């Protein structure tokens, strides 16, 4: 390594060389200048004389140039200073802008942070928020477009369980979102979860999901949900059900789909034809399982579920509003032993929707067509109404009578059923008359009122029918019509469903007229003011010539607009118009209807006694109620004066009545049941069915030899 002295010496040598190199260049220039002077051809003296003025001239030019340069230099200095000043100002302005920008950025950043904190607080306060679940952004966006910010309890409870791969039995009250409870986690599992890497893709792919439902309408509805939410994830769904040809369904299956939704009968047909392959199945879902099995699909369901070769590779989900024993048996057979259960009903007594007002209203069969329009006017609040009947024929007949109504039942062709449901959903008509095909799972917005023409045979039917309203957190009204002499069915529904009925009388014509008057007033207020001059003279003449006040005249005008020329009476017992309900008391207990009739015959002609309808005994056993034609009321009230200890009272509120068993005794129900009632046609149960008379085997009760529910062999006579 060289010493420090050597390095310094080297540096000095380099500096000297640079300096010498510079001197050498100057020396060469000087030599060149001298050589140039020597080779000039001018006289030296002449040259000396000429050089003086030239030199002066040159000096003068140099001075002028110097002066010019000095002036220019000063100008340049001023310009430079101005430029420098401008740059400085610009720099200061940019600095201020940067400060403002950074301030705005800081504000924006704080605002975003505050928004994130607020959203985090909302999520924390709402554990069911969509943001809290493993739901991808496309699916979250679709949910938000539908106004869904939070999952319903059954959806929140089951999402992680299904997404993570467990078998599940789910139970919740009707109208609480069971469909999305399996749709959402299944879609996410297929695209972002455990099933993503094993599901088949491409043309001709076999389905990854199979969903079984009891009715075509339900199948179409669930298929629609899979389509709406699955479209954003690139999944295809196919719906198969009866009532339509096979070709389009077969074509869709052969092209390949991810999800198949259908009814058991048509799924079974496609399996037998070889159109469906379960080799890649990841999910199988039984929705509304209780109804599916009750409708006679037990064998079909078992066959379909048994087609899966390796059940351990398939996740099975069972959803239902109720879990009767036969559904539990299916769950035990086809779901894994470590299955999970999500039960939002449990042992709670209340099985029906808690958002529904449940009303029981007395009505005879003959009064339905008169009463139902009035119930709709008083209780529907302008929303949609579904009227349920037990028989298809009744649905068609009632739909023909009710203004603007349409029928829906199993005998109507599928294409027409779809048109009818579409029209009802869109509001083309507001009243649907249906059998149980509309009782399960149909999610139709703004159904405000449910009317059941009679108590259903099964309590589950009542739960599902009334659940067509009050859905998704909304409120609704469910009105059940019943024969007050058959009120045992009311008690059964209350006992088994937990519903507590609100017992009310039928809307009286005066109540209906008031509602109609309100509508008429709104109609009149919408009439253009331009018509006033044309009718003003006639109106003034009417006011001048009438003894009524202007308000009373306007009331008559509203009544006419609403279609009322008179207000009729309506029975509390049967809801028949032009009938009045009367209470008979005799100062002692009235144990049988025959005793009540014998009392009436003491002071009334036989033909008037025969004109009364619906006689029933009070629950306390001290009276009997019945309907009297309005035109005969005065005769009845006057006649009581001719019988001692007899009183007749016009009722304003119907008292509790004795319940009549419809089945159970050896010879046809209870004393006054449908089978053995002396005063009503037999149609009830009992060992011999129908009538109390053993000779009438065709009554068809639910007794030992009976079989059906009807009976037509009963007689007023023993």
Residue 205 CA: distances (Å) to CA of 209, 249, 253 = 12, 15, 9
Higher pLDDT, 71 or 467: 467
pLDDT digits (tens, 9 = 90+) for 403-447: 889 999 988 888 888 899 889 988 899 999 998 877 765 667 788
pLDDT averaged over every residue in the chain: 76
Instruction: Give the residue-averaged pLDDT of 456-464.
Output: 84
Name the band, by pLDDT with cuts 50, 70 and 90, for residue 23.
Answer: very low
Which domains, from first to last, does the chain contain? 137-343 (3.40.50.300), 356-507 (3.40.50.300), 513-528+539-567 (no CATH), 579-650 (3.30.70.2280)
Instruction: Give the residue-averaged pLDDT of 592-615.
Output: 91
CA 313 to chain centroid, in Å, comes to 33
Name the band, by pLDDT with cuts 50, 70 and 90, for residue 176.
Answer: confident
CB atoms within 10 A of CB 661: 18
Instruction: Give the residue-averaged pLDDT of 191-215.
Output: 91
The winner for highest mean pLDDT among 31-40, 72-81, 89-98 is 89-98
CA 626 to chain centroid, in Å, comes to 44
Position 178 scores a pLDDT of: 85
3-state secondary structure string across 87-114 = HHHHHHHHHHHHHHHHHHHHHHHHHHHH
Question: How far apart are the C-alpha atoms of 448 and 476, rounded to whole Å?
Answer: 5
Beta strand pairing call for 384-388 and 447-452: parallel
pLDDT higher than 70, residue 63: no
Instruction: Give the residue-averaged pLDDT of 316-332.
Output: 83
Name the band, by pLDDT with cuts 50, 70 and 90, for residue 389.
Answer: very high
> CA 476, 480, 481, 483 torsion: positive or negative?
negative
pLDDT digits (tens, 9 = 90+) for 237-295: 999 998 788 889 999 999 999 999 999 999 999 999 999 999 999 999 999 888 777 77
Higher pLDDT, 598 or 662: 598
pLDDT digits (tens, 9 = 90+) for 330-364: 888 899 999 999 887 766 555 666 789 999 998 88
161 in Cβ contact with 181 (< 8 Å): no
Position 146 scores a pLDDT of: 87
pLDDT digits (tens, 9 = 90+) for 86-106: 666 666 655 555 555 556 666
Position 277 scores a pLDDT of: 92
Of the listed ranges 121-130, 327-336, 340-349, 512-521, the least confidently predicted one is 121-130
The winner for highest mean pLDDT among 203-212, 361-370, 526-535, 649-658 is 203-212
CB atoms within 10 A of CB 104: 10
Q: What does pTM read for this prediction?
A: 0.55
Of the listed ranges 63-67, 434-438, 463-467, the least confidently predicted one is 63-67
Instruction: Give the residue-averaged pLDDT of 670-691.
Output: 35
Q: What is the DSSP string of 230-257?
A: HHTTT--EEEE-TTS-HHHHHHHHHHB-
Position 261 scores a pLDDT of: 96
Count H helices and E strands in the chain, helices first: 22, 18
């Amino acid at each position: 390594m060289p010493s420090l002295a050597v390095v310094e010496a080297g540096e000095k040598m380099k500096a000297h060389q640079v300096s010498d190199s510079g001197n050498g260049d100057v020396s060469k220039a000087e030599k060149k200048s001298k050589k140039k002077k020597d080779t000039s051809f001018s006289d030296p003296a002449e040259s000396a004389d000429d050089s003086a003025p030239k030199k002066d001239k040159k000096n003068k030019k140099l001075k002028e140039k110097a002066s010019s340069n000095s002036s220019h230099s000063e100008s340049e200095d001023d310009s430079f200073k101005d430029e420098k000043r401008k740059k400085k100002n610009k720099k200061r302005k940019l600095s201020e802008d940067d400060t403002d920008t950074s301030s705005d950025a800081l504000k924006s950043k704080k605002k975003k942070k505050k928004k994130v904190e607020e959203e985090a607080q909302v999520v924390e306060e709402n554990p069911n928020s969509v943001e809290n679940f493993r739901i991808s952004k496309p699916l979250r966006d679709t949910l938000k477009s539908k106004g869904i910010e939070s999952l319903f309890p059954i959806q929140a409870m089951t999402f992680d369980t299904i997404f993570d791969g467990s078998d599940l039995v789910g139970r919740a009250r009707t109208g609480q979102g069971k469909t999305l409870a399996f749709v959402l986690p299944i879609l996410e599992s297929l695209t972002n979860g455990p099933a993503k890497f094993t599901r088949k893709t491409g043309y001709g792919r076999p389905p990854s999901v199979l969903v079984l439902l009891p009715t075509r309408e339900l199948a179409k509805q669930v298929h629609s949900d899979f389509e709406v939410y699955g479209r954003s994830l690139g999944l295809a769904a196919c719906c198969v059900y009866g009532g339509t040809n096979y070709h389009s369904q077969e074509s869709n299956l052969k092209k390949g789909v991810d999800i198949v939704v259908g009814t058991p009968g048509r799924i079974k047909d496609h399996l037998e034809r070889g159109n469906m392959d379960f080799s890649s199945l990841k999910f199988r879902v039984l929705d509304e399982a209780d109804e599916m099995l009750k409708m006679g699909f037990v064998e079909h369901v078992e066959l379909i579920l048994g087609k899966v070769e390796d059940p351990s590779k398939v996740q099975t989900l069972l959803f239902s509003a109720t879990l009767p024993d036969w559904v539990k048996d299916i769950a035990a057979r086809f779901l894994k032993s470590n299955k999970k259960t999500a039960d939002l009903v449990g042992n709670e007594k209340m099985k029906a929707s808690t958002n529904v007002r449940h009303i029981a209203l007395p009505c005879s069969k003959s009064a339905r067509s008169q009463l139902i329009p009035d119930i709709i006017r008083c209780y529907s609040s302008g929303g949609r109404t579904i009227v349920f009947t037990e028989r298809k024929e009744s649905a068609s007949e009632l739909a023909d009578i009710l203004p603007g109504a349409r029928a829906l039942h199993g005998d109507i062709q599928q294409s027409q059923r779809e048109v009818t449901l579409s029209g009802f959903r869109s509001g083309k008509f507001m009243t649907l008359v249906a059998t149980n095909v509309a009782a399960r799972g149909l999610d139709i917005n703004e159904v405000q009122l449910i009317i059941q023409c009679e108590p259903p045979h099964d309590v589950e039917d009542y739960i599902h029918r009334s659940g067509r309203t009050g859905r998704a957190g909304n409120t609704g009204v469910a009105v059940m019509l019943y024969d007050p002499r058959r009120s045992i069915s009311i008690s059964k529904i209350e006992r088994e469903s937990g519903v507590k009925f609100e017992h009310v009388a039928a809307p009286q014509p005066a109540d209906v007229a008031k509602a109609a008057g309100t509508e008429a007033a709104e109609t009149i207020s919408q009439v253009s003011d331009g018509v006033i001059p044309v009718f003003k003279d006639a109106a003034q003449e009417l006011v001048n010539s009438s003894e009524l006040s202007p308000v009373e005249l306007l009331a008559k005008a509203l009544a006419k607009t609403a279609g009322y020329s008179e207000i009729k009476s309506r029975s509390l017992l049967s809801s028949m118009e032009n009938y009045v309900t009367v209470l008979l008391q005799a100062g002692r207990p009235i144990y049988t209807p025959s005793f009540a009739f014998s009392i009436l015959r003491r002071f009334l002609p036989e033909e008037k006694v025969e004109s009364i309808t619906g006689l029933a005994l009070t629950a306390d056993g001290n009276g009997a109620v019945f309907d009297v034609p309005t035109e005969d009321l005065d005769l009845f009230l006057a006649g009581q004066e001719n019988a001692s200890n007899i009183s007749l009272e016009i009722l304003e509120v119907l008292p509790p009545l004795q319940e009549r068993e419809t089945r159970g005794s050896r010879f046809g129900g209870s004393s006054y049941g449908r089978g053995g009632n002396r005063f009503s046609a037999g149609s009830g149960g009992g060992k011999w069915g129908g009538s109390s008379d053993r000779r009438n085997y065709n009554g068809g009760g639910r007794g030992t030899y009976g079989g059906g529910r009807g009976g037509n062999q009963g007689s007023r006579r023993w």
